[in-house]
Amino acid sequence: MRIPNHIGIIPDGNRRWAVKNGMTKEKGYNMGLKPGLELFKLCEKEGINEITYYGFTTDNTKRPKFQRVAFTQACIDAVKMLSKENASLFIVGNTESPMFPRELIPYTIKRQTFGNGKTKINFLVNYGWQWDLNDCFASNEKDKNMMDLIRSREISRIDLIIRWGGRRRLSGFLPLQSVYSDLYIIDEYWPEFTPKHFYNALEWYDKQDITLGG
């Protein structure tokens, strides 16, 4: 089986899950922690080298405060949780804004290694696609490749993006690393994660041809 090197995760549908289960919207985010760990362990088992989780965006922070507090806390808790695994953790996001949680700043400066550090994990926290790309265009190093100038330059090309919650779009998720990504959509909400979702995505990916535009 052809295993992707790098998987992008769009864990969508937390709020819709909460509403469906008779809770207020912000209650959904916390339910995404367990799936995040479970998915990490499956990736580790299958030998996937790099995982990028879509945490929250600068646009998301315009939502009601209750929600903002809840998804920010869920990201902090997710990083804490994953720092108990064999992983190296890196965070990309706008740290100049008060919306960026202070606790996570060290992860934006350098990749932090835990255990044997084998699996690379990237987290997008207070990320914005325009913020990501603006740097390349403010740069004076005209001889450099664009991919070496964007703010997310530590994050490699993504082979497979798995999105929960049924929406078939990228929603600003790393536009340059996603130009050739295969996009697998799961209709269930992220808190409803099961290993079957992950294996269905891998089986589907195995059947895709890879041309990288050729």
Contact call for residue 190 and a second copy (CB under 8 A): no
Stretch that binds a second copy, among 19-27, 71-79, 86-94, 169-177 (CB under 8 A): 169-177
Q: Binder to a second copy among 91, 182, 190, 193 (CB under 8 A)?
A: 182
Contact call for residue 33 and a second copy (CB under 8 A): no
Q: Which is nearer to a second copy, 36 or 172 (CB)?
A: 172
> Strand locations in the chain, DSSP E?
6-11, 50-57, 87-92, 112-114, 119-127, 160-164, 182-186
- The residue count of the chain comes to 214
Between CA 189 and CA 200 the distance in angstroms is 15
Contact call for residue 194 and a second copy (CB under 8 A): no
Q: Binder to a second copy among 180, 196, 203, 206 (CB under 8 A)?
A: 180
Q: Tell the smallest beta-carbon distance from residue 203 to a second copy (Å).
A: 14
Between CA 174 and CA 168 the distance in angstroms is 15
Q: Binder to a second copy among 38, 149, 154, 188 (CB under 8 A)?
A: 149
- Residue (of 4, 1, 52) closest to 182 by Cα position: 4
Site for a second copy in 40-69 (CB under 8 A): 57, 59-60, 62-63
In the DSSP assignment, the letter for residue 156 is P
Q: Binder to a second copy among 21, 116, 171, 194 (CB under 8 A)?
A: 171
Q: Are strands 87-92 and 182-186 parallel, antiparallel or unpaired?
A: unpaired
Contact call for residue 75 and a second copy (CB under 8 A): no
Q: Binder to a second copy among 21, 24, 97, 134 (CB under 8 A)?
A: 134
Contact call for residue 26 and a second copy (CB under 8 A): no
CB 201 within 8 A of CB 46: no
Q: Which helix (H) or strand (E) holds 197?
A: helix 195-206
Which pairs with CB-CB distance under 8 Å and at least 24 residues apart come from 140-148? Answer: 146/176, 147/176
Contact call for residue 85 and a second copy (CB under 8 A): no
Sites of contact with a second copy (CB under 8 A): 57, 59-60, 62-63, 129-130, 133-134, 136-139, 142, 146, 149, 167-172, 175-176, 178-185, 208, 211-214
